[in-house]
Amino acid sequence: MLAAIAGPTPMWYATRASGYTALVLLSASVVLGILTSSREARRDWPRFVVQSLHRNLSLLVSVFLVIHIITSVVDPFAKLNFIDAFVPFIATYRPLWLGLGVVGFELLIAITVTSLARHRLGWRSWRFVHLFAYASWPIAVIHGVGTGTDTKSLWALLVVALCVAAVVAALRMYRSLSSCGLFWNLGISSNTTWY
Amino acid sequence: MARQSNLDAARLRRDLGLARARRVTIYSAVGATAFTGVLALVAATSLPGHSVTTTPASQPGLSDSGSVSQPGLSAPILPPQYGYGGVPVAVSGGS
């Protein structure tokens, strides 16, 4: 009886909203990455412009992911701490779904760091790590659907469905354009100038 | 001469492309921020999500985990009600 009932904090709403925004931006970045690797370019959208956008959107994803994680930790409901945000599957709140989010986040960190230092790493090492970018996207989708408070909401389903549809359409276009195997050519072209 | 003009055209295309990439990036950042605000509003109005139960930090009789240490005792819902003036009113037998 001494307990007081309080509503959700603004941090809770910011967590949910920034998570969905990060998913949308990540999907856009994946689509641009696939378009870049398809080697198709329009005159008004040369490949270096698409690559530049792909890189900038990836950095924007990192910004919104940091907001998503900080607001998740600050909000008292899930009782998360910063260790839970970096070590997967140890959180007390929905450990499996949250752990998948941590794995996806760490994959993106690895991709960002290796992309920033790719001139020192070499192309083959960078390519090996960059292939995981394509794994981080479905992991992020599963994390959002599994953890999400809003999974039952129509707007959330609509956002996730649009993201999935965009990536699937880009993959289909890539497969129709490429005569080679899919996975070993994604994001890879040895004669590409990487920014 | 023709080579110089081709070079200038290529430079112009490069500069225009970079400017376009920069512009789309700025639009994306602004749009993503606005999208986050709209989604937060939609989330707040459509499905609040959860309620947080808070307890006062230092209540006598409460342990660290917030549970009551003496299960047989509980605090009253309302404080004792007194009459006007805040003094307990004594009622006689009415004789």
Q: Is the pLDDT of residue A194 over 50?
A: no
**With an 8 Å Cβ cutoff, are B14 and A153 in contact?**
no
Lowest model confidence (mean pLDDT) among A139-148, B20-29, B77-86: B77-86
Of A118-132, B6-20, B50-64, the poorest mean pLDDT is in: B50-64
CA-to-CA distance for A184 and A129, rounded, in angstroms? Answer: 12
In order of A22, A52, A79, A146, B54, the CA distances from B62 in angstroms are 41, 58, 20, 36, 13
| Three-class secondary structure of residue B76 per DSSP | coil
- Averaged pLDDT, A180-194: 46
Question: Who has greater pLDDT, A151 or A189?
Answer: A151
Q: Residue B30 in contact with residue B38, Cβ under 8 Å?
A: no
What average pLDDT does chain B have? Answer: 68
The predicted model scores a pTM of 0.75
Answer yes or no: do A25 and B42 touch at CB < 8 A. no
Q: Taking residues A56-66, report their average pLDDT.
A: 94
- Nearest Cα of chain B lies from the Cα of A59 at a distance, in angstroms, of 10
pLDDT score of A165: 97
Strands B52-54 and A4-6: antiparallel
pLDDT value of residue A195: 38
Kindly list the residues from chain A whose CB atom is less than 8 angstroms away from the CB atom of residue B53: 3-6
Which pLDDT belongs to residue A184?
46
Count of all residues that appear for chain B in the document: 95
How far is Cα A10 from Cα A67, in angstroms, rounded to an integer?
13
pLDDT at residue A70 in the model:
94
Above 80 in pLDDT, residue A60? yes
Which residues on chain B are in Cβ contact (under 8 Å) with A2?
55-56, 59, 62, 75
Q: By percentage, how much of chain B surpasses pLDDT 70?
A: 47
Within 8 A of A42 by CB-CB distance, chain B residues are none
| Record: contact A8-B52, CB cut-off 8 A | yes
Mean local confidence (pLDDT), A171-186 = 67
Contact at CB, B54 and A4, closer than 8 angstroms: yes
Average pLDDT over all residues of chain A:
83
Q: Integer distance in angstroms from the first to the last C-alpha of chain B?
A: 125
The number of helices, as runs of H, and strands, as runs of E, in chain B is 1, 1
Q: For an interface test with A, give the residue of B47, B51, B74 to mutate (most A CBs within 10 A).
A: B47
Q: Are A104 and A156 in contact (CB under 8 A)?
A: no
Quote the pLDDT of residue A35. 86
Joined together, the tokens standing for residue B33 give: 């921020």
Task: Quickly state the pLDDT bin for A45 (edges 50, 70, 90).
Answer: confident
Q: What is the pLDDT of residue B38?
A: 94
Does pLDDT of A61 surpass 80?
Answer: yes
- Bigger pLDDT: A154 vs B83: A154
Task: Looking at mean pLDDT, say which of A92-96, A150-154, A184-188 comes out highest.
Answer: A92-96
| A151 interface with B at CB cutoff 8 Å | no
Query: Which DSSP symbol is given to A92?
Result: S
**Cα B26 to Cα B13: distance, rounded to the nearest angstrom:** 20
pLDDT on residue B58: 45
Q: Which of A5, A9, A12 to mutate to test the interface with B (most CBs of B within 10 A)?
A: A12
pLDDT of the residue at A36: 85
Q: Which residues of B touch A147 (CB under 8 A)?
A: none
Enumerate chain B positions whose Cβ falls within 8 A of a Cβ in A.
Answer: 13-14, 17-18, 20-21, 24-25, 28-29, 32, 35-44, 46-56, 59, 62, 66, 74-75, 77
Which pair of structure tokens corresponds to residue B27?
Answer: 């639009």
Lowest mean pLDDT among A38-52, A102-116, B33-47: A38-52
Cβ contact, residue pair B52, A20, below 8 Å: no
The answer to whether residue A150 scores a pLDDT higher than 50 is yes
Q: Do A49 and B17 touch (CB under 8 A)?
A: yes
Which of B13, B18, B22, B35 to mutate: most A Cβ within 10 Å? B35
The mean-pLDDT minimum among A46-55, A185-194, B40-49, B50-59 falls in: A185-194
A60 closest CA partner among A101, A31, A35, A24: A24
* pLDDT score of A51 more than 70: yes
Say if A77 is an interface residue toward chain B (CB within 8 Å).
yes
Mean of pLDDT values over B11-19: 88
Look up residue A106 and give its two tokens.
């760490």
